[in-house]
Amino acid sequence: MNPKPHDCVGLRAIAAQVRTGAVTASARVANCLARIEAHESEIHAFNQVFAAEARAAAARIDACVARGENPGALAGVILAIKDNIATTLGRTTCSSRFLENYRSPFDATVIQRLLAAGAILIGKTNLDEFAMGSSTENSAFGTTRNPWDRTRVPGGSSGGSAAAVSAGFCDAALGSDTGGSIRQPASLCGCVGFKPTYGRVSRYGLVAFGSSLDQIGPFARDVRGCAELFEAFCGSDQLDSTTAPLEVPDCLTQLDEPLRGLRVGVPREYRSEANAPSVARVLEDAVAAYKSLGATIVDVELPLTDVGISTYYVIAPAEASSNLARFDGIRYGKRAEISAGEGLEELYAKSRSEGFGPEVLRRIMLGTYVLSSGYYDAYYNRALQVRRRIREEFDRAFAQCDVLLGPTSPMPAFEIGGKTDPWAMYLCDVYTVNTNIAGIPGISLNAGYAEERGALLPIGMQLQGPAFSEALLLRAARMLESARPPKYPS
């Protein structure tokens, strides 16, 4: 493991080289496929690799360049797509037995926009089944391994996308984030992962988990790459009524200009005793880095931080139990055999029980329970009341500061099989769930490393900002990145 420094040029610079013919899309695809060939058997980032299709797409872009046409702002940029985002290319499985052979009849809005910009899809990435998990161990198709230490998890649920970016299998990737599923794996794999404000990105074609929490976002090797990908696919969509009717923000023009007078809030609760010592050290280093860049550090309080997980594990399963009711074995997906005398009820229950893994079963049942008669007020309604208080707490914090800084995860990557108690796994997301509960944007970027038994493990820091403050948030992240340039496994 000799990590190589990465120069943060983003994705449009790559596309510019493709458009001028300095490099061909075909050569770029061949490079990625060679890396996949060499390392994928150990990493297992992908559920499917689109080798032939990616070569054909690259040839079309090169032909376009040869004819003097413009193949787009992301021409020849190679993307991996989390396998819960609908693509007409290949299957869309959600890493579930239930959808093992499901072929989407349409492309998600984000996919349509990225293909129109000239991006090339290299494959569909592994995830915790239906995005329920923090380690990618809940996949029905096997665990993804962390490119920095293959005995450890990549985080989750978008572990395949994070691992693919860090391993150099692609230029960038898409994930989805319901409670930290982009930011936590980005932290554990040492890349950049960005969850936009709820409503910024169309969810059309994202298989629904928690509809008031889910958001699609980018993974890239640098902040600029995330910003460029975000700009290419964000914006309102006729096919998703929860997209905000706002202009696409300009996140790029001033990205490299440090923000003068930036106020960085550090919540007292984020300096928790529960943080691993390495994480606590990297947080204080990041605070020092912002100070040296001229930012003002502000002490703030978010006392509801530690009820976030309890709130989330009522709201998210409640929404999931409703969303996953569509998987009934009738129109698509797994249909179980039933015996003579059995009918539709048995068909539903058997198909679902055979198709879903244990964590999905657990969350559907938890959600059904908290919504059931007699428990709705004590659990679901109360969680929604706490949700408003969490949002108000963020609003008060953002009256004192521009962004909030803290660890993305209380620990670096843990060992595969290391967390068997569900609640211990849920606590991985203590710093990320409240972002979704409040609907605000959050980004994780690498800010340092831990050394454990000879392995170098990346540690990410998270920045959160007010709703729809993406341009400012990305610029603040770029400042930290310039002080702590990322490295990637060679």
Partner 1 sequence: MSEQDLSIKDVRHIAKLSRLAPDDAAIESLRSSLSSILGHIAKLSTVDVAGVEPMAHPLAISNRLDADESGATLPIEMVLLNAPAKVDRFLAVPKVLDEGGA
Stretch 204-223 residues interacting with partner 1 (CB under 8 A): 212
String marking each residue 343-382 x if it binds partner 1 according to CB under 8 A = xxxxxxxx-xx--x-x--xx-xxx-xx--x-----xx-xx
Closer Cβ to partner 1, 70 or 353, answer by number: 353
Residue with tokens 């990493």: 43
CB-based contact 177:183 (threshold 8 Å): yes
Q: How many CB atoms lie within 10 A of CB 268?
A: 12
CB-nearer residue toward partner 1: 103 or 150:
103
* Cis upstream peptide for 157 (omega within 30°): yes
Residue 302 and residue 269 in contact, taking contact as beta carbons nearer than 8 Å: yes
Among 18, 153, 279, 383, binds partner 1 (CB under 8 A): 383
Pick the closer one to partner 1 by CB: 383 or 450: 383
Pick 269 or 306: Cβ nearer partner 1: 306
The SS3 assignment for 374 reads coil
> Which of 9, 30, 59, 244 is the binder for partner 1 (CB under 8 A)?
244
- State the nearest-atom distance from the C-beta of 462 to partner 1, in Å: 18
Alpha helix positions (H), 170-257: 183-189, 223-233
Q: How far is the CB of 351 from partner 1 (least distance, A)?
A: 8
Please identify, using beta-carbon distances, which residue of 270 and 394 lies nearer to partner 1. 394
Ranges within 276-315 binding partner 1 (CB under 8 A): 304, 306-307, 309-311, 313-314
As measured in angstroms, the least distance from the Cβ of 33 to partner 1 is: 28
**What is d(CA 50, CA 123) in angstroms, rounded to the nearest whole number?**
5
Out of 135, 139, 157, 351, pick the active-site residue: 157
State the residue for tokens 């994070």.
162
Q: Which of 96, 158, 166, 181 is catalytic?
A: 181
In 89-164, DSSP assigns E strands to 120-125
Q: How many residues bind partner 1 (CB under 8 A)?
A: 72
Tell me how far, at minimum, the Cβ of 212 lies from partner 1, in Å. 5
- Quick check: 396 binds partner 1 (CB under 8 A)? no
CB 427 within 8 A of CB 310: no
Contact with partner 1 (CB under 8 A) among 31, 70, 101, 296: 101
Interface of this chain with partner 1, residues 154 to 213, rule: CB under 8 A: 198-199, 212
Q: Which CA distances in Å does 296 have to 321, 398, 403, 404, 480? A: 44, 14, 11, 12, 14
- Which of 41, 238, 253, 292 contacts partner 1 by CB under 8 A? 238
| 302/234 Cα distance (integer angstroms) | 29
Q: Which residue has the tokens 């950049």?
A: 192
- Is 124 considered catalytic here? no
Closest approach of partner 1 to the CB of residue 230, in Å: 18
- Rounded CA separation 286/484 (Å): 9
Rank residues 65 and 213 by Cβ distance to partner 1 and give the closer one: 213
322 in catalytic set? no
- Give the residue, chosen from 1, 34, 116, 325, that forms a contact with partner 1 under the rule CB under 8 A: 325
Q: Own/partner pairs for 98-101, CB < 8 Å, 24+ apart?
A: 98/327, 98/333, 98/334, 98/351, 98/352, 98/355, 98/356, 99/327, 99/332, 99/333, 99/334, 99/355, 100/140, 100/334
User: Strands (DSSP E) along 341-489, which ranges?
Assistant: 403-407, 442-452, 455-464, 487-488
Does position 423 bind partner 1 by CB under 8 A? Answer: yes
Q: Which of 302, 267, 293, 301 is nearest to 405 (CA)?
A: 267
Q: Is 341 in the site for partner 1 (CB under 8 A)?
A: no
Residue placing its CB nearer to partner 1 in the complex, 262 or 304: 304
* Sole binder of partner 1 in the list 17, 151, 242, 254 (CB under 8 A): 242
User: Which of 207, 170, 171, 220 shows the shortest CA–CA distance to 33?
Assistant: 170
| Segment (H or E) for 267 | strand 263-267
Choose between 136 and 311: whose C-beta lies nearer to partner 1: 311
384 binds partner 1 (CB under 8 A): yes
Instruction: Compute the least distance from the CB of residue 45 to partner 1, in Å.
Output: 25
Is residue 153 within 8 A of residue 413, CB to CB? The reply is: yes
DSSP state of 269: G
Please report whether residue 111 would count as binding partner 1 according to CB under 8 A. Answer: no
Q: Please name every residue paired with 407 in a beta bridge, in sequence order, or none if there are none.
A: 461
In this chain, which of 25, 234, 467, 471 binds partner 1, going by CB under 8 A? 467
Q: Is 419 a catalytic residue?
A: no
The distance of closest approach from Cβ of residue 184 to partner 1 in the complex, given in angstroms and rounded to an integer, is: 19
Residues 3-22 that bind partner 1 (CB under 8 A): none
Q: Which of 82, 124, 350, 419 is catalytic?
A: 82
Residue 232 Cβ, how far from partner 1 at the closest point, in Å? 23
Rounded to 5 degrees, what angle do the CA atoms 59, 60, 61 make? 90
Q: Which of residues 431-460 bind partner 1 (CB under 8 A)?
A: 438-440
Tokens of 167: 């391993």
Q: Which residues are catalytic?
A: 82, 157, 181
